[in-house]
Amino acid sequence: MNSLASTDLGPHDLSETPINLSRRGFLGASFGAFVLGVALPAGPARAQAGAGPAIDPGTRVPAFLEIRPDGSVLLQSPFIEGGQGIFTAMAQIVGEEMDADPSRFSVVAAPPGPDYLVVNGKLRITGGSMSVRTSYERMRRLGAIARRMLLQAAADRLGVPLADLRTEPGKVVHIASGRELAYGELAPAAMTLSVPTDVPLKSPADFRWIGKSVPRLDVADKSTGRATYSIDVAVDGMLLAAVQHAPRLGCEPAALLNEAQVGAMRGVHSVHRLPGAVAVVADRWWRARKAVEALQVEWKEADPFVQRPFPVMPADFSSAALKDKLIASHGKALDAEVVGDVGGAMGKAAKVVEAVYDAPFIAHAQLEPPAATARFNADGTLDLWVPNQAPEIFQRNAAKLAGLEPEQVRVHSPMLGGFFGRHFYYEASLAFPQAMQLAKAVGRPVKLIWSREEEFLRDTLRPMGVVRFKAGLDARGKPVALEAEVPGEGPRFRVNKVPLDKPDPTAVEGIAEKPYAIPNRRISQIPVPYPVMIGFWRSVGHSMNGFLYETFFDEMADAGQQDPFALRLELLAGNARLTALLKSVADLSGGWRRGPYTAADGSRRARGIAMASPFGSEVATIAEVSVSKNTIVLHDIWVAIDPGHVVNPAIVEAQVRSAVGNGLSTALLEEVVYEHGRPKARNYDQYPILPPDRMPPVHVRIIESGAPMGGVGEPGVPGVPPAVANALSTLLGRRIRSLPLSKAPLTASAS
């Protein structure tokens, strides 16, 4: 049916890709090769695989929990908090089974270590909307083991059998006598106990906190400026550093024309050449930045004989030319999904529709610019404070760079000031190797901050998306064949260095394996390399492919004179989950009406619908638009999301709203344009992101169908651009096939 099942383990969809590797094989080879693209150096993890029983991630309670005398709990989270609410969700999940109130938890990001490989019990990544769904049972079990340890400690203390005890939040109760022992007083003894790890879990019917909108644990600190991020880290004796990157990736600094003058500027400690950059270290960052920007640097072209883990940016590269090239490319097609006989069906079709759709490169534009602090210690160890979505991967690479063993590198993972896929291990987009080199050079700790301009120059981008679509319709206007050719590269194979001799699932996700019953389908990728750093962006391939497919769907519906909502419903016949979802979003919006129609305020409006199946969840989105003063106005966006079942409805809703904002931002405004090998925009003035006055009311309905748990952080994105574009196309009376919509003239078609 399809060839998407893959053993290339990117940081996405792992729950959908069972990993049937032995532990030894996993640790010895595959982890490094597939996840990292970097060989795993010999270290404690591998040693453990060879010697004695390996650590079963998520079972050693003291690695995760510190129960303090007052009963408050410190939880080491395997996942990094960056706004998605994972610290709170982890406290809920662990607290539920432990019988400890999540509001008594404080949560920090755990250091690297084998205990924390809780993603399907095999690895540790914060991404792919995977955290809760891939660790849910394991983290519940951790809480249950902790509870058992506390019960055992109480049994020992009281000299009674376990069966005579029960727990209430924060305490063990002796049933017969009513005597209570607080967790805080039991903890010192409990944490030394060895108990069975196959403890039973609660019945969901008995849940006290899971499924409830427990308040987020980080909100108070984030509302008062107390939350600290990588950029806020301060260590004794540190110096501050700023960089100027080569204007094109691959270029190297040659002459520094005014080094002496810059070196003499107030506060400047030293001037440095780094791979692909120059840096100034100073007593203050502002001085370092002023100085490094004053540096007059002659850059030399990339040495073609040097091997690099990233492409060299050609001096003549432009994103417009790449788009033309993709549209015209006709290389070998790698089939991702083939069903039926597309050629035959297309030949017999009463009508054939063809169109090319495109979406641009997109920047992460998270509000916190990258910052990293490196400190080499007298004992030979290294401390790193670095924004990251994968501490062990950063640890291994930092160790390799420093010539240390991984266990000599302590990776601290502060709160992320937004991430959206920005903080995976992208070789050309990392501040920490520069911080390490500078710290080594000056013999003191160094905090390096990239200016916003340097970040826009070196961000790893969401890939440009182009699809050539062709659909065949029967005499009644119903689609009988669909062909989609996807030229270009996907992010997963690029980041994980997988050769493109088969389709990258992240290039075609959202186009292949759509749920619509079109009997003949062929979806293929045509590899075309991008000379740009590409990586993961919130909802990955779905984020552009949702637009590309679901807008062509409406074009196909129009060609067959079908209502796009009714056609979706018809093509989902027999799929109870998606039929219910589609009807639900229509209901939420007050009933499907496409328009154009005149609203009560006199404005002409239209609505668009789109569906997406990202990260194990199902989403349907409706948007209502009008045009006023040559600007697209969003009136409302309605989203129905079915993630199977949820841990915290308020956080799910907040994530959907946030994803809608990101999706809308890409629909309306965002586009990274390269000319002459350089990005045109270096700050938000040239790269606008969604401002508050363009955020419409968002209405969210969560459906818990009971299906296997899906992701939450990303799935709200992909439905928004097509829902908006479909509405606008209806309003204007002509198809819009390119993003962002700010490029589209907003005059209505004469027809």
Partner 1 sequence: MELRINGMTHQIDVEPETPLLWVIREELGMTGTKYGCGLAQCGACTVMIDGRVARSCVTPVESVAGAEVTTIEAVETDPVGRKVVAAWIDNQVPQCGYCQSGQVMAAVALLKENPSPGESEITEAMVNLCRCATYNAIHAAVRQVAKA
Helix then strand count (H, E) for the chain reads: 20, 27
Q: How far apart are CB 62 and partner 1 at their closest, in Å?
A: 30
To the nearest whole angstrom, how small is the minimum distance from the Cβ of residue 284 to partner 1?
Answer: 5
Of 233 and 297, nearer to partner 1 (C-beta) is: 233
Q: How far is the CB of 213 from partner 1 (least distance, A)?
A: 9
CA distance 88 to 90: 5
- To partner 1, the closest distance from the beta carbon of 603 in angstroms equals 17
- Residue with smaller CB distance to partner 1, 231 or 436: 231
Of 453, 394, 461, nearest to 424 by C-alpha is 394
Q: How far, in Å, CA of 61 to CA of 64, rounded?
A: 5
Tokens read off for 320: 């417009």
Other CB atoms within 10 A of residue 260 CB: 9
Least Å distance, CB 655 to partner 1, is 8
Tell me how far, at minimum, the Cβ of 414 lies from partner 1, in Å. Answer: 11
Give 540 or 690: the residue with its C-beta nearer to partner 1: 690
Nearer to partner 1, 120 or 126 (CB): 126
CB closer to partner 1, 489 vs 653: 653
Instruction: Work out how close the CB of 632 gets to partner 1 at its nearest, in angstroms, rounded to a whole number.
Output: 17
Is 228 or 749 the residue whose CB approaches partner 1 more closely? Answer: 228
**And the tokens for 64?**
């995760």
Q: Three-state SS string across 472-502, please?
A: EECCCCCEEEEEEEEEECCHHHHHHCCCCCC
DSSP one-letter code for 40 = P
The β-bridge relationship of strands 465-473 and 351-359 is antiparallel
Nearest to 720 by CA among 560, 485, 510: 510
- Interacting residues toward partner 1 by CB under 8 A: 82-85, 215-216, 218-229, 231-232, 234, 240, 266, 284-286, 365-369, 415-420, 449, 451-452, 650, 654, 657-658, 660-662, 664-665, 683-685, 689-693, 695, 697-698
Rounded-to-integer distance, Cα 628 and Cα 358, Å: 25
Cis peptide before 311 (omega within 30 of 0): no
Q: Quick one: 222 or 348, whose CB is closer to partner 1?
A: 222
Q: Which is nearer to partner 1, 588 or 695 (CB)?
A: 695
Nearest approach in angstroms of CB 695 to partner 1 is 4
Calpha distance 143→149 (Å, rounded): 10
Distance from C-alpha of 592 to C-alpha of 566, rounded to nearest angstrom: 9
For the bound state, the minimum distance from the C-beta of residue 369 to partner 1, rounded and expressed in Å, comes to 7
CB of residue 98 to partner 1, shortest distance in Å: 24
Kindly list the strands in the beta sheet with 382-385, ordered across the sheet, starting from the edge strand earlier in the chain: 268-274, 277-282, 239-245, 446-449, 371-376, 382-385, 409-412
Query: Is the four-CA dihedral 218, 222, 228, 229 of positive or negative sign?
Result: positive
Residue 334 or 365: which CB sits closer to partner 1?
A: 365
The answer to whether 432 touches 423, Cβ cutoff 8 Å, is no
502 burial via Cβ count (<10 Å: 0-12, 13-18, 19+): middle
Residue placing its CB nearer to partner 1 in the complex, 285 or 638: 285
- Least Å distance, CB 696 to partner 1, is 9
- CB closer to partner 1 out of 365 and 466: 365
- For the stretch 498-505, contacts whose Cβ atoms lie closer than 8 Å and that sit 24 or more positions apart, written own/partner, are 498/8, 498/34, 500/334, 500/525, 500/527, 501/334, 502/3, 502/6, 502/334, 503/3, 503/4, 503/334, 503/335, 503/336, 505/4, 505/6, 505/10, 505/13, 505/336, 505/541
The residue type found at 522 is R
d(CA 326, CA 360): 12
| DSSP one-letter string for 280-324 | EEESSHHHHHHHHHH--EEEEPPPTTS--SSPPPPTT--HHHHHH
Instruction: Tell the smallest beta-carbon distance from residue 81 to partner 1 (Å).
Output: 8
**Which residue lies nearer to partner 1 by CB, 562 or 665?**
665
The closest alpha carbon to 145, from 23, 52, 63, 85, belongs to: 63
